[in-house]
Structure 1
Amino acid sequence: MKITYTTSKITEELAQILVLQQANLYRNVSTEEKLAEGFLTVEHSLELLKEMNDVCPHTIAIDEQGNLAGYAMSMHPSFKDEIAVLKPMFEVIDPLIAPEEKYMLMGQICVSKNHRKQGAFRGLYTHMKNELEHDYDSIITEIDALNSRSMEAHKAVGFEEMVGYHANEQEWVVVRMQL
């Protein structure tokens, strides 16, 4: 199946991101699925997703039928106070990042169930990297330490571990990809 990678431009695409997000949130998937397929932790509102997109468009994957196959959210560090669950991450990484380093936070990545294991994860990051490499030095994200599928996938596309920490009764691992 052919997948096209681009950036989100219209509200309908943002709404599709939220539908895919809901289907893959931690509370909406079984324990077996969490282990086998991974899961999402953060839930966004359409308003916040649009504000984030206005600063730096999200990367999306569209299949041949025009359906959303996946997304990788771009979250500029200026949004660090907008999502409570992410505040501890910024407290941990801010002292570790050189003042001159310009980075984009990959706010969340998700591939729909019927598009997994077809290269969409790698395709999303390849497109995101190509879009950001002229203005940013790196992409940073955090992963729930229990989400081994996500950890493996991120390492496979070039992310390296920065730091681990404990917050909100969870263990987190922050990873970075140099651009």
Structure 2
Amino acid sequence: MELKLADKKSELLDILRIQKENQLNSLSCESSKTNGFVTVTHTYEVIEKMNSRAKQVIAKMDDQVVGYALVMLKEFRDLIPVLIPMFETFSVIECNGQKLDKLHYYVMGQICVQDDFKRKGIFKKLYEKHKEEYSKYYDYCVTEVSSSNLPSIRAHEKLGFKTIYTFTDQTDEWNILLWDWN
């Protein structure tokens, strides 16, 4: 398996394929409870724009993407309307004595591993690659996870993420998780 930063159109298209397969509305109730799910849907144009400023972290096996962990910089907060409430919430969350939106962070926009490759350590390796690539530029990695996505919450906590805030918007109840790299 190869961990790398996405640099080809085919890799971005593979991310979108895996994302579509793991959308909550594409999964059985049992599968979503056991394996987790993704909520946000990206277009190719959005993911290409995100990748142009910060390369997306991917896992490849036999030249095919089998997992990804997206990088979403603050400047892209308005690209995906469903994520705007999360970014707005950052202005009220305190972390280390400061408002979160004033800290040097980026958002891990979504992480997903193809079903056949789950429970093989790829989730952890994707985040290790994030830290290797981006901890030299950022102090924190922040993400949000649906309260009903317990597999994802547990996996993030195992890596060292801490839930620092919970809020509800029109779509769901969300946990803001922070990984402090200091």
Give the alignment's TM-score, normalised by structure 1.
0.95
Out of 145, 150, 153, the residue aligned to residue 151 of structure 1 is 153
**Cα deviations across residues 100-155 of structure 1 (Å, max 9, x unaligned)?**
52111000000010111100000000001110011001100000000000000000
Identity %: 32
Q: Does 1:20 align with 2:22?
A: no
Q: Take 2:13 and 2:101, find their aligned partners in 1: how far apart are those partners? A: 35
Instruction: State how far apart, in whole Å, the 2-side matches of 1:99 and 1:173 are.
Output: 16
- Decide whether the 8 Å contact of 2:90 with 2:101 is kept in 1: no
Q: Which amino acid aligns with 2:71?
A: S
The structure 2 residue matched to 1:77, chosen from 52, 74, 78, is: 74
SS in 2 for 1:94: coil
Give CA deviations for 1:20-77 in whole Å, capped at 9, x if unaligned.
00000011001010100000000000000000011100000011x1121100000001
Aligned residues: 176
1:52 maps to 50
Give the AA of the match of 2:86: M
Contact 1:35 1:148 in 2 (8 A): yes
Given the alignment, which residue of 4, 9, 12 partners 1:11? 9
CA separation in 2, counterparts of 1:174 and 1:98?
A: 11
Contact residue 104 and residue 138 of structure 1 kept, 8 A:
yes
For 1:86, which of 70, 83, 86 is the aligned residue? 83
Contact 2:70 2:110 in 1 (8 A): yes
RMSD value over aligned CA atoms? 1.1
1:39 alignment partner, SS class: coil
Give the counterpart letter for 1:31 in structure 2: C
Whether contact under 8 Å (1:38, 1:150) holds in the other structure is: yes
TM-score (norm 2): 0.94
Q: What amino acid maps onto 2:169 in structure 1?
A: A
Distance 1:46 1:109 in 2: 17
- Gap regions ≥5 residues in structure 2: 94-98
Alignment of 1:130-141 (within 5 A): 130-141=132-143
